Structure 1
Amino acid sequence: SGIYRAYLDAHLPEPSAREGDVVDKGAQRFYRPDPIDERFGATDPYQPDSSQSDMYGCLDIPRAHTRTAFDANQTIDALERLKDDTFTLHCSFGPPHPPMISTEYYFRQFDPSQMPLPNSFDDPMTDSPYRKKWEALSRYQNPDTIGYMIANYYALVKEVDDHVGRILDKLDELGLTDNTLVVFTSDHGEMLGAHGMKGKFVFYEESVHIPLLMRLPGVIRAGTKVDAPISQRDFFATFLDYLNCPDPGSQGYSFRGLIEGNGWDGDDFVVAEWESTQVPSFMVRTDRWKLMFGRSPDAPSVDALYDLVNDPLEMNNVIDQHNDMAQELKDRLVSWLGKVDSPHLDGVMARMINQ
């Protein structure tokens, strides 16, 4: 943030606030808040303070000077410098991530009033592990304003997509496309109004299901799709496999065999973890079932089991009806926690299903 702020200060004079503007304290630039923004209607652009997760609107800077454009430019410059060497290059875009503040150019491509509501938007959350969290998010359960959040998110995705295209074009220009492994992924998703929620701190698919696109011409067949649970801990081993580099001993497994239709040695389930006692600490997901489970006998969180085939929206907690399946997934979790030497192993073992 400091480097980007210095870049903005060097290239753009700090503008004056327009009526109704508030300040993005990260970029120290003004933006026009949308109705879903926590500070919408504020008379002082600097007050009240707001967390970045409640910021939505249009940023008052040219699109050539956004954080995404800045990161892409740095990456393209690095490719030019490294073109004659063997290199690994990581470009980590901030968006789409709070604060969800896009530029006018991208935001106007998505009409908030025309944004489709998530199919689980009206979930009553009766038996959800996240009921209490949901109750505190009424702003994100208003169908008249949630479109602003969705439109800003789509605008930020479109901006990232455009700049990824610029990076790929640079690889073409430098003649590096055919011998470069390109990976596009993310660290988490976004609820975006699904189940009437925002953010990433839950185990619903909108939060934990992330993109993974890989390209290596002549090696990875274009259009190949793998429909299997994969964990991020398997990324490193897979990338090394495709680059013909020895694995120094990572915990993951290469899923190159899955991509090429030959199977693999990895698990048929994935585990996710969140450090909390108020909501489930662990998720175990197979191709059909998902268990959300607390980390100790005294954790007050609610456990849940979802049938992703018959209930892909995860609106019906069936842990009471399928106790045996919940126990099977718990056993897998216990085994996995033992392998990774988790400090929560004993607590999870001692917790009863849906206690």
Structure 2
Amino acid sequence: MKPRSKPVFQLLAGIVLIVCFSCHAQEDEAGKRPNLLFIFPDQLRNAAIGVNNEDPVHTPYMDQLAKEGMVINNAISNIPLCSPYRAMLMTGKLPYHNSVLSNCNSARYRYNNSWQKEDVSFSDILRRNGYDAGYVGKLHLTSPAPIPGIDSVIWDAYTPPEDRHGFNFWYSYGTFDQHHSPHYWVNNAPKDELKEVQEWSAKHEAEVIIDYIKNDENRNKDKPFALFWSVNPPHPPYPLVPAKYLKPYENKSNEELLVRENVRFGNTTEELARHPGGTRGRTDLAKEHAKDYFAMVTGVDAQIGRVLAALEEEGLSENTIVVVTSDHGEMMGSHGLMSKNVWFDEAINIPFIIRWPAKIKANQESDAFISVPDVMPTLLNLMGATDGIPRDLDGSDLSTQILENSPQLPDYALYYYIEAGQPASGHRGIKTSKATYVITYDKSGKKHHFLYDNVNDPFQMHNIAADDPDLAKLLHEKLLKALEEKKDPWLRKHQLSL
């Protein structure tokens, strides 16, 4: 941890400093549990938050949120891919324990690659503990059945009410990337009753959430609320962004926008070409659409600002936990790659800003690691919503450490690449503050090692696995031990052990 100011834990109501860590009954002075607003734009890399001083992007509202709370620098999307992230978030379990190994679509229906009814989930626990639970935006957790006679893959999917794990307010869809003309299933609407909208999805959803916050008919004022907002932008298609958000970038060159030292146009290196993740040979998209990507980030930031203002207007800011994070990042030309699903920081390092004025001191920063399965138990414990939390989670409760700004947090996070329907397939890796280490297997079964010095080579441009065998051995052992603790079937497949 590196606090921006001296760590203090202070109740605003109080003369006395009281923290009930043993019971985690995190209620404010009026005895009310906090609300939760969990915002996760799709494909928003950590570098693309202005306060981080990396990408030249304008995000004044997220920057202000960061100054008012805590920034966790090493939030890691363990599988930097939409559906696996969402399943880990909702279940607190790793993909080979929750069945969502890859992105949900009709080609994965045969694998039962969907949110499982039997997995007691984040929203189930919230409802059990008296919360009004809502979901707005992209879900992408249901693999729809193929349609006989149609060969094309179906991505969008209707999730029936009985499969929504307790969410009582629903304004959502599966996955549909027409940002200017989104559609939604609203509450108990049947599958054939889609609400179609002719407005930028981020703006429209912000208006839905503002209505929810202002206590329209969709929430119970007598209950605390927990609202999840999955914004599709800045996910491609990149050009689908209102023109006004392009203004800060329209006169910028690619050299002024794509400032990371590892950006390279053309082909990837041969060793990276063996990895099936990421998108190779399309860095022309970075040249063409860097402006659009950053403009979408700025546009989403503006909508977040509107929602935060509504919280303030309703007097809810003090006792509402606001989290801004993402499901994964975007390579945008780094290492000659686009998209995600690879181990580099541009893909796995996601924002994690948490603000709770009643309990979390402002202007704090942490270098600790938080993995996706940790989010559910951590937030539930912060909220005092602990009744019924499953004991078989892969994630850990980090609430006490966050509240204390304690250094006793995880010092690493795991990386996974898994093929659809094959829990033991793919690659595995580990990231620490000092290094990133990955084991991959090519099509012939040959093993390859990747090792990057994250201190002296922050853009991960040099694979030093052969040059530093001692460090490689150390991280190899740390990785295998962690995978063994998580009961990863990949170890058995490759007959790996300590």
TM band (smaller chain) = 0.7 to 0.9
Determine helix, strand or coil for the equivalent of 1:119: coil
Deviation at 1:181, TM superposition (A): 0.8
Which residue in 1 is equivalent to 2:55? none
Contact 1:182 1:216 (8 Å CA) reproduced: yes
1:272 aligns with 2:401: no
Q: Tell whether the 8 Å contact from 1:188 to 1:209 is kept in structure 2 after alignment.
A: yes
Aligned residue number for residue 18 of structure 1: none
Q: Describe the SS at the equivalent of 2:341.
A: coil
AA partner of residue 106 (structure 1): Y
Mark the CA change 1:295 to 1:134 in structure 2 (over 3 Å): closer, same or farther. Answer: closer
Residue 65 of structure 1 pairs with residue 199 of structure 2: yes
Structure 2 CA distance for partners of 1:211 and 1:193, relative to 1, 3 Å: same
Residue number among 465, 468, 492 corresponding to 1:319 in the alignment: 465
- Higher RCO (CA-CA < 8 Å; seq separation 6+): 2
Partner-residue secondary structure (3-state), 2:370: coil
Aligned 8 A contact 1:190 1:206 in 2: yes
- In structure 2, stretches of 5+ residues that fail to align are 1-154, 156-176, 183-196
- For the residue of structure 2 that corresponds to 1:312, the secondary structure is coil
Answer yes or no: is 1:335 the counterpart of 2:481. Answer: yes
**Residues 93 and 297 of structure 1: is their aligned pair in 2 closer, same or farther, counting only changes over 3 Å?**
closer
Residue of structure 2 equivalent to 1:164: 304
Give unmatched runs, 5+ long, in structure 1.
1-50
Please state how far the C-alpha of 1:313 moved relative to its aligned partner: 0.9
Equivalent residue letter for 2:205:
D
**Relative to structure 1, is the Cα distance of residues 57 and 310 closer, same or farther in structure 2, using a 3 angstrom cutoff?**
farther
Deviates more, 1:221-230 or 1:297-306: 297-306
Q: Which residue of 2 aligns with 1:229?
A: 369
Please say if residues 297 and 351 of structure 1, whose CA atoms lie closer than 8 Å, have aligned partners that are also in contact: no
In the alignment, which of 228, 233, 242 is matched to residue 103 of structure 1? 242
Give the aligned residue type for 1:212: F
| Structure 1 Cα separation of the partners of residues 325 and 261 of structure 2 | 25
Are 1:262 and 2:406 matched, yes or no? yes
Residue aligned with 1:221, SS: coil
Count of aligned positions: 292
| Map of 2:438 onto structure 1 | 292
- Cα distance in 2 between the residues matched to 1:351 and 1:149: 45
TM-score by length of 1: 0.72
CA distance in 2, matches of 1:57, 1:251: 35
Structure 1 SS opposite 2:354: strand
Paired letter, 1:92: S
Cα distance change on mapping 1:304 and 1:200 into 2, 3 Å = same
Distance 2:412 2:278 in 1: 31
Structure 2 Cα separation of the partners of residues 308 and 59 of structure 1: 39
Q: CA deviation at 1:197?
A: 1.4
Structure 1 pair 73–303 and aligned structure 2 pair: CA distance change class (3 A):
same
Q: Within 5 A, what are the aligned runs for 1:49-198?
A: 65-79=199-213, 80-81=215-216, 82=219, 83-100=221-238, 101-111=240-250, 113-114=252-253, 115-117=256-258, 118-122=260-264, 126=269, 128-130=271-273, 137-140=280-283, 146-198=286-338
RMSD: 3.4
**Bigger Cα displacement from structure 2, 296-305 vs 102-111:** 296-305
Residues 73-109 of structure 1: CA deviation (Å, up to 9, x unaligned): 2222222233442111111100111111212222233
Q: Distance in 2 between matches of 1:350 and 1:58?
A: 45
Q: 2:242 is aligned with what amino acid?
A: T
**Identical aligned residues as a percent:** 28
Matches of 2:396 and 2:278, distance apart in 1: 40
Structure with more of its chain in helix, by fraction: 1
What code does the residue aligned with 2:462 have?
A: N
Q: Give how far 1:327 is off.
A: 2.3
CA distance in 2, matches of 1:223, 1:119: 29
| Secondary structure, aligned partner of 2:414 | strand
Moved more, 86-95 or 110-119: 110-119
Is the CA contact (8 Å cut-off) linking 1:201 and 1:274 kept in structure 2? Answer: yes
Residue 279 of structure 2 contacts residue 339 of structure 2 at CA under 8 Å; is this kept in 1? Answer: no
Distance in 1, matches of 2:495 and 2:456, equals: 29
Partner SS state of residue 225, structure 2? coil
Cross-structure match for 2:141: none
| Cα contact 2:282–2:337 (8 A) shared by 1 | no
What per-residue deviation string (whole Å, max 9, x for no partner) do you get for residues 99-125 of structure 1? 112122222331264342231113885
Equivalent in the alignment of 1:30: none
Does the Cα contact within 8 Å between 1:68 and 1:94 map onto a contact in 2?
Answer: yes
Q: Within 1, Cα distance between the matches of 2:335 and 2:295?
A: 22
CA contact (8 A) 2:246 2:292 kept: yes
Is contact 1:95-1:157 (8 Å) kept? yes
Q: Distance in 1 between matches of 2:336 and 2:443?
A: 29
Between 243-252 and 86-95, report the one with greater CA deviation: 243-252
- Mapping 1:293-308, distance limit 5 Å: 293-294=439-440, 299-300=445-446, 302-308=448-454
**1:58 offset after TM fit, Å?**
10
* Aligned equivalents of 1:233, 1:134: Cα separation in 2: 22
8 Å CA contact retained: 1:295, 1:351: no
- Distance in 2 (CA, whole Å) between partners of 1:134 and 1:180 is 37
Give the partner amino acid of 1:262.
S
* Partner Cα separation in structure 1 for residue 270 and residue 369 of structure 2: 25
